[in-house]
């Protein structure tokens, strides 16, 4: 198991969620 800094994991997860929400928002609009 890799030891990763919790803040970097949270940042990466929130960034992926933000991108996912943007894709869904664009998909609904178009």
Which band of pLDDT confidence, cut at 50, 70 and 90, is reported for residue 11? Answer: confident
Q: How far apart are CA 16 and CA 9, in angstroms?
A: 11
Q: For the whole model, what pTM was predicted? A: 0.53
Q: How far apart are CA 7 and CA 13, in angstroms?
A: 10
Phi/psi at 3 (5° precision): -95, 110
pLDDT at position 10 is: 75
Task: Tell the residue number behind the tokens 């609009």, with chain if given.
Answer: 29
């Amino acid at each position: 198991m890799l030891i990763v800094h919790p803040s970097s994991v949270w940042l990466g997860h929130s960034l992926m969620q933000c991108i996912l929400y943007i894709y869904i928002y664009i998909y609904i609009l178009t």
